[in-house]
């Protein structure tokens, strides 16, 4: 059975779980330093019992004590429903709207392609090079993925020793998430992203996955057109709430 949107959200949270996190009255509080906001934000996923103002204040104090900007990740499933408007009233700015898309994996849409499998440590370094990430972010990225008890496959496209594109699939049950599909600026519009997606979906199928999901910036039309060729369809949107200046 095709997973519903709530199950896809659970899979997404599992695939981005950092080494350390707290559960606070139904909220998953993540405090890992690094680029990935999902690993350093509050995810309000379960019903609460404490007053909302008390919970927001607790998160603000906790993130301040960890020298991290407080971020809230808002989905259609966030609890309580008044969290998003309350944050807006408190001056938390909405930004980085992201579409979560999913599809059954259709082998007929997958070409036989050549990509290079990579071990996780080397792959994280390659992703960091493409993004221009500092060493601390790369270390956090590796720690999050390496500690994850799920099947994963990391791939790259390389030319003359230089990594031009990357991608990762993480498989849980019969669902595969696609992540870090990145192409070097000088190698765009050469079909590399399509090759990576096709390869990852085929690998995921071989690991037992029959459905796939991914996250893509809502306004990234070129990427969304590419994913649509594999059958990906929007399931829901999520966004972040943070103080002015945090969105940078």
Sign of the Cα pseudo-torsion (187, 190, 196, 199, in order): negative
Q: Measure the CA–CA gap between 101 and 109, rounded to whole angstroms.
A: 17
First CA to last CA distance, the chain: 39
The confidence score (pLDDT) of residue 161 equals 84
Residue 122 Cα distances to 89, 133, 138, angstroms: 44, 14, 11
Find, among 239, 248, 245, the residue nearest to 72 by Cα.
239
Q: Measure the CA–CA gap between 191 and 125, rounded to whole angstroms.
A: 23
Average predicted confidence (pLDDT) for the chain: 91
List, for residues 32-68, the tens digit of each pLDDT value.
887 778 889 999 998 888 999 999 999 999 999 999 9
The confidence score (pLDDT) of residue 1 equals 66
Classify domain 103-235 by CATH number: 3.40.630.30
The confidence score (pLDDT) of residue 209 equals 97
pLDDT(170) > 60:
yes
* Joined tokens for residue 248: 């940078």
Mean pLDDT over residues 104-123, rounded? 91
Q: Measure the CA–CA gap between 1 and 240, rounded to whole angstroms.
A: 30
Q: Measure the CA–CA gap between 208 and 74, rounded to whole angstroms.
A: 31
The confidence score (pLDDT) of residue 96 equals 92
The confidence score (pLDDT) of residue 4 equals 83
Mean pLDDT over residues 86-105, rounded? 96
| Phi, psi of 162, rounded to the nearest 5 degrees | -110, 130
Mean pLDDT over residues 161-168, rounded? 94
The confidence score (pLDDT) of residue 185 equals 84
pLDDT band at residue 248 under the 50/70/90 scheme: very low
The confidence score (pLDDT) of residue 120 equals 95
The confidence score (pLDDT) of residue 29 equals 92
25: alpha, beta or left? (left if phi > 0; alpha if psi -120 to 50) = left
């Amino acid at each position: 059975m095709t997973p519903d949107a709530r199950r896809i959200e659970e899979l997404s949270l599992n695939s981005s779980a950092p080494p350390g996190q707290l559960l606070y009255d139904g909220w998953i509080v993540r405090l890992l330093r690094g680029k990935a906001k999902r690993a350093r934000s509050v995810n309000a996923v379960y019903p609460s019992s404490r007053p909302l103002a008390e919970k927001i204040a607790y998160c603000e104090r906790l993130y301040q004590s960890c020298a991290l900007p407080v971020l809230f990740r808002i989905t259609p499933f966030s609890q309580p429903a008044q969290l998003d408007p309350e944050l807006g009233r408190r001056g938390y700015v909405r930004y980085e709207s992201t579409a979560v898309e999913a599809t059954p994996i259709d082998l007929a849409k997958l070409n036989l392609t050549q990509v290079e499998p990579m071990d996780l440590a080397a792959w994280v370094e390659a992703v960091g090079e493409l993004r221009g990430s500092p060493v601390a972010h790369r270390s956090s990225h590796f720690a999050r993925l390496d500690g994850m008890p799920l099947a994963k496959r990391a791939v790259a496209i390389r030319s003359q020793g230089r990594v031009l594109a990357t991608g990762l699939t993480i498989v849980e049950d019969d669902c595969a998430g696609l992540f870090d599909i990145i192409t070097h600026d000088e190698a765009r519009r050469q079909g590399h992203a399509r090759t990576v997606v096709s390869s990852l979906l085929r690998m995921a199928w071989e690991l037992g996955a029959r459905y796939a999901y991914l996250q893509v910036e809502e306004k990234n039309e070129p990427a969304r057109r590419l994913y649509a060729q594999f059958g990906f369809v929007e399931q829901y949107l999520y966004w972040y709430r943070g103080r002015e200046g945090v969105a940078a």
